[in-house]
Structure 1
Amino acid sequence: MTTGTTGTTDETPLFGPGTHFSAFFDDPRWALAVIRATVLEAAHPQVGAALADNSTFVAHPWRRLRNTFVSMRRMFDPDPAVREREAARLNRLHARMSGSDSRGRAYDAMDRATRAWVVATLFESAVTMCRLSGQPLDQDTMERMYAEYRAFLAALDGDAGELPADLGDFWRYFDSVVEDELENTEAVRIILYRLFDHLPAPALLDGAPTLWAVGRAVVGPLLGSITVASLPEAYRRRAGLPEMPGATTLMQAAYLSAGLTRFLPAGWIDAAAIIEALSLSPDSDDPRARTVAALHTRMKRASALLRLLTPWSGDTGPDPAASATTGAGAPGATGATPDGRRSAEEFFRQVLDQTGDGHLDWPDLAAMARELATRLDLDEPDETRLYDAFAAWWRELQAALDTDGDGRVSADEYAAAVPSLAGPALIRVAEVLFDATDRDRSGTIDADEHRALFRTAFHRDLTTTGGTYDRSAFVGDFLSFMAGRRRNSPYDPLLADA
């Protein structure tokens, strides 16, 4: 694969430290730019359909944010081997995403023109970000940065031929796609009008529902308005997106304010640390969780104070205390049972329905396989075994639970059956995970291997007995989570947390 490592005329590397792309990772303006780019991506019919069918960004947005950030860092790593390995992983992931949208139009996540559009939105949004924040790029800098983005596409596709070689031609290409191809897709509407308004709390704010609901009620509409105002006018007209009065001024103020952070001392803003703090569970055994736990305690106190001072009645989510006493022991109840087990409905919503569309089908289980393979950084053979095992599990579930024959399982169908999900296929899923952990192929997992698995994939440690962990014990623990629906499992941060 061609990795696009050729430099510009001065032979400056296009990847790694010193590139414009890498500098944006810790730039607060980049958060606004990425949201804008995501909307423009989702407006493309092919991308919008793929997101609507396969993405977990609605139910698990913080997990999606972390995975995207890690992947982008890998794709711009100075080591070609790291870039090639990540590109191969992304290509395997995208090769599994194809189908048709609600109008019967086919989509394929490996379509080269569509992938080029995704890269184009990132470049154009970065240029727009600099302009809106009062730091417009000069022509030479823009040319240099465009070369970096074309190299990124080349690392994925083998060449950058789907993007114009000349920057002047790029702007004509970009305007043509905006005016002729973009639509007001379902994915765009979800991002602008559902995701921001119903964004689940990150792990840091879990347990502070009032504080989160109040903040979300203010910030959500503002983010939506800022994003719409920053989109190309041609697309806003084509999609019929309303622009709120004063939104342009608000958008410019947001970008200018974010741009002022350039005056902070170097190293004060660490995007990786911020994302980990948001996604790391306070009860994790990761050493960094001590700081998160301290912040979490303060957030809970602030939330309790806000609850006393403000008669807030927003959507704060289910009350854990009420859930624990409502319908306890009833299979279809939404609360927890007295022995600490999840109810069937809660398990369906938090674990099985990964895409958040209210139904269980193959994209949900594919998302589980994708998350496990990503966290464990599995090579192709083990990754394929994992996907095959999840596909077999889906066939078992569909045969047992799809009573109306519509090709998917509803929450009611699942809750009514209250099945034991520990079938042969799910056992094979657990065995693939065991084999990935048993690095020395000894047939047992020693304490170090066991800690490494949960530290790497789930930011958790488990205490082993006797210094080793055999296959049956490992499989039993995994099944107790997936079939027994027990709470406080080390798998919760991976498959249940947002």
Structure 2
Amino acid sequence: MTDTGSNPTPETQPGHLFGPDSQFHRFFNDPRWALAMVRATVLEAAHPQIGAALIDNSTFVMHPWRRLRNTLVSLQRMFGADDDVRQREAARLNRLHTRLNGTDAQNRPYDAMDPQVRAWVVATLFESSVTMCRLSGQPLKQSAMEQLYAEFQAFLAALGDQAGHLPPTLKEFWQYYDHTVETELENTEALRIILYKLFDHLPAPPLLSGLPTVWAAGRTLAGPVIGTVTVASLPEPFRRRAGLPEIPGAQTLMHGAYMAAGLARFLPEGWIETEALTDLLYLSPDSDDPRAATIAALHSRMKRAGALFRLVTPFPAQPGFAEEAEEAEKPAPRRSAEEFFDAVLDQTGDGHLDWPDLAAMARELSTRLDLDEPEETRLYNAYAEWWKELQSALDTDGDGRISKQEYAAAVPSLAGPALIRVAEVLFEATDKNGDQRIDATEHRTLFRTAFHRTPAATDESYSRSAFVQDFLSFMSGRRHSTAYDPLLAEA
């Protein structure tokens, strides 16, 4: 790419702003970008409005892998070559953001549609991409940096935001970025959770489900390293003002991590493609995907490794660590009311059930089914009616939310008219051809388990009554479900 010395804009170079020729497309499969994404997320969470929205509405604590998967799918759609797909995804994101508003713990308002807030999200993605190249010893040329900035400007424009919400030139951008870092960012609760809680308690991805010993061993080593690397990579003025720790050797570790990730680019082509790697994380061993046999064999080897690991390490016994292979063969036990509350109802992980938890369910289902208006609104409205029904029946102290104790003390198997309506609306949204049955293709669309999300094959169609009965059984009977656990309960 030639250095033109000018800042390319969406108007001057439209062919290279999206699609396979874009700078973003090259970064998407770069292993360093995983570190950059974590860093960008921390900088987003440090913004007071974004941090408050994450705490109140996001499922990133309880369902981080789901959040990662949906974010990657969204970025692929927005930066892909298909303009129709991009416009559809932009409309979906705007509908999602319109529903995210409120006030934080200090009674300050937040609104995910605030154009300055949206600009800051895009700014962190751009700046972290530039920084990852610099920290790994491969700084971007000026022309490449300008091209990348034009792509992120076009991304913001595709969402419908005016161009002025990001500075027009790179020189002005760096002034804007430094000013925001030094004057607006805070040591928010969301930031502290990401740095000091999320990685320490990160649940296993589907690939490693049922292997808690293996996962805990890896997480114990990797969690503190990722946190230390991320803190060391943040702008020094913010680290100082937020009181983030300075760990001896952290800068060396951080540079080493970025440089090591950069070396992965020398691996054979296709080994480090983001979509392929994420597919494997979410692929179920009993899927009809051709790779499932390999995953099943890998699971078996990991179980044996986990058993050996327990014999040679002093890890204390923990719930779920006893003989994973034997546990896997037992029929799924019935959940207690408390377990169901934690695994399914409390989607945001704040210890209470309120509207953001049910909205998160509606959001995930709408994303899975790729709903447009008005189907998406019908599903949200059905969940809103269910929330009113639950609040009326279970909120005994009148504080506007339902505690685990309030839920457990009531009749846990609540399947009133509003929940039945949720099941019916979900059936109608899944039944794309309107034949009053869910066929194998429609079944896969809802219960997919990876980017392609192929569950165990089924040739049987699903009637309305059977679907509603199974949904109610899961939501009120609290039994584990091969289909619904990955949909609403797993991370």
Structure-2-length-normalised TM-score: 0.93
Query: Retained in 1: the 8 A contact 2:284–2:449?
Result: no
For residues 303-352 of structure 1, the C-alpha deviation after alignment (integer angstroms, 9 at most, x for no partner) is 111101101127x5545789x99xxxxxxxxxxx9983211111111111
Corresponding position: 1:380 with 2:373: yes
How far apart are the structure 2 equivalents of 1:462 and 1:264? 34
Q: Over the residues paired in the alignment, what is the CA RMSD in angstroms?
A: 2.2
Q: What do the CA deviations read for 1:58-116 (whole angstroms, capped 9, x no partner)? A: 11111111110000000001111000000000010110010111000000010000000
Name the structure 2 match of 1:490: 483
CA distance in 1, matches of 2:319, 2:69: 23
Q: Which residue of 1 aligns with 2:3?
A: none
Aligned: 1:353 with 2:359: no
Distance in structure 2 (CA, Å) of the matches to 1:154 and 1:339: 48
- What residue identity is the alignment partner of 2:94? N
Deviation for aligned residue 1:283: 3.6
Q: Name the stretch that deviates more: 437-446 or 78-87.
A: 437-446
**Residue 22 (1) aligns with residue 17 (2):** no
Q: How do 1:28-427 and structure 2 match up within 5 A?
A: 28-313=31-316, 316-319=318-321, 340-427=333-420
Q: Aligned equivalents of 1:450 and 1:157: distance in 2?
A: 34
2:110 counterpart SS class: strand
C-alpha separation in 1, matches of 2:9 and 2:243: 42
Structure 1's 338 and 497: CA in aligned 2 closer, same or farther, altered over 3 A? closer
Residue 421 of structure 1, CA deviation: 2.2
Contact 2:389 2:418 in 1 (8 A): yes
Shift in Å at residue 292 of structure 1? 2.3
Which whole-Å CA distance do the structure 2 matches of 1:451 and 1:212 have between them?
28
Question: How far does residue 300 in structure 1 lie from its aligned partner after superposition?
Answer: 1.6
Partner Cα separation in structure 2 for residue 210 and residue 319 of structure 1: 6
Contact 2:40 2:128 in 1 (8 A): yes
Query: Which ranges in structure 1 are unaligned for 5 or more consecutive residues?
Result: 326-336
CA contact (8 A) 1:455 1:461 kept: no
Aligned to 1:333: none
In 2, the alpha carbon distance for the partners of 1:354 and 1:120 equals 28
Which residue type is aligned with residue 360 of structure 1? Answer: L
Range with bigger deviation, 187-196 or 441-450: 441-450
C-alpha distance in 2, partners of 1:436/1:205?
A: 31
Distance 1:456 1:281, change over 3 A: closer
Provide the rounded CA distance (Å) in 2 between the counterparts of 1:146 and 1:411.
47
Aligned-partner Cα distance in 1 for 2:189–2:23: 33
Residue type at the aligned position of 2:359: A
Residue 330 of structure 1 is matched in structure 2 by: none
What displacement does 1:278 show? Answer: 1.4
- For residues 455 and 443 of structure 1, the distance between their equivalents in structure 2, rounded to whole angstroms, comes to 20
Report the CA distance between 1:412 and its aligned residue: 1.3
3-state secondary structure, aligned to 2:301: helix
User: Given residue 492 of structure 1, which amino acid in structure 2 is its aligned partner?
Assistant: D
Give 1:29 shift. Answer: 0.1
What corresponds to 1:460 in structure 2?
A: 455
Q: Secondary structure at the match of 1:150?
A: helix
Cα pair 1:281 1:493 within 8 Å, conserved: no
Ranges in structure 2 where 5+ consecutive residues have no aligned partner: 1-7
Matches of 2:417 and 2:441, distance apart in 1: 28
Structure 1: distance between partners of 2:118 and 2:331: 49
Q: Offset of 1:448 from its aligned partner?
A: 4.7
- Please give the secondary structure, in 2, of the residue aligned with 1:99: strand
| TM-score (structure 1 length as normaliser) | 0.91
Kept after mapping to 2: 8 A contact 1:205/1:300: no
Q: Answer whether contact 1:52 1:186 (CA < 8 A) is retained.
A: yes
SS at match of 1:219: helix
Q: 1:448 to 1:187 in 2, by over 3 A?
A: closer
Is the contact between residue 334 and residue 478 of structure 2 (CA under 8 Å) also seen in structure 1? yes
* Maintained 8 Å contact 2:59/2:67: yes
Deviation at 1:268? 2.0
The amino acid across from 2:422 in the alignment is V
Cα distance in 2 between the residues matched to 1:278 and 1:205: 8
* Cα distance in structure 1, aligned partners of 2:309 and 2:134: 38
In the TM superposition, what whole-angstrom CA distance separates every residue of 1:242-285 from its partner, at most 9, and x where no partner exists?
Answer: 12110000000000111112222322211111112112333444
Distance in 2, Cα, partners of 1:308 & 1:33? 37
8 Å CA contact 1:33–1:129 kept in 2: the answer is: yes
